[in-house]
Homo-oligomer: A and B are copies of this chain.
Amino acid sequence: MKPNDAARSGPKSGSRDNSRDNSKPNAKPKSAGGDRRLGDFLCFAIYSANLAFGRAYRQGLDDLGLTYPQWIAIVALWEQDGQTVSELGEKMFLESNTLTPILKKLESMGYLRRQRDPADERQVRVSLTDEGRRLREKGMHMNLVASTGLKPDEFARLQENVVALRDNLIKATAEEA
C-alpha cells in the first residue's frame, strides 16, 4: 500500500509559494486584534510547555509504570484518601468522563479501590491500596526533572502566576455561561 496517495504529484513547480511571507509584519502587533505570531500567544507557550513537561517526565513515569494523569491521581489521593470522583475531579480539573477510565485503569493495576458510598449510592469513593501508597512513596525518591533552568525566586513567581492565570481563565469561562 502506498504510504500516501494524497498529497502526491501536482502542478507545483519548484517555486513553493512563499508569496505569503508574513515573516515580519512591521512592529509589535501585540494584543491588538490578532495578527500575532505563534510565539506571542501565551496559550501556545503554556500548551508547548505542557508538552515539554510530559516528555521530561516520561522516563520517570515509565519507571513507575504510570502515565501523567495516573500519577496525578495517585498524588491527589495520597493527599486525601477516600475522595469521591467529583472531589478528585475538582482537584485535577477533570470530569468523570475523563477520570472514570483513568481510575478504572488504576484499579485494574491494583493501586486503588472504587466503591459506591453506602450513604449515597450515586457517589463512588476512591481510596489507595497499600500498593498504591507504596508507589507514591517510590515516586518521592524519583526527582522528576529539576531542570527548569529557573532561579528559585523566578520559579516561585512563575508558579504563582500560572496558577493565577489558570484560576482567572476558569472564572472568566464560567462567568460567560
Contact = CB atoms under 8 A, between A and B. Distances in A.
A137 B79 CA distance: 47
Given A6-B83, A12-B125, A31 B133 contact: no
Interface string A81-107: 111101100111110000000001001
A23 interface: yes
Contact of A115 (B7, B45, B145): B7
A120 to B, nearest CB: 9
Contact of A50 (B7, B47, B76): B47
A149 B168 CA distance: 6
A162 interface: yes
B20 A78 contact: yes
Nearest to A177: B59
B163 A7 contact: no
Contacts of A23: 79-80
6 contacts: A2-B90, A7-B82, A7-B116, A45-B162, A51-B94, A148-B168
Listed from nearest, the 10 A-B pairs whose CB atoms lie closest are: A149-B168, A147-B172, A34-B140, A7-B114, A16-B82, A49-B166, A52-B169, A45-B162, A50-B50, A20-B81
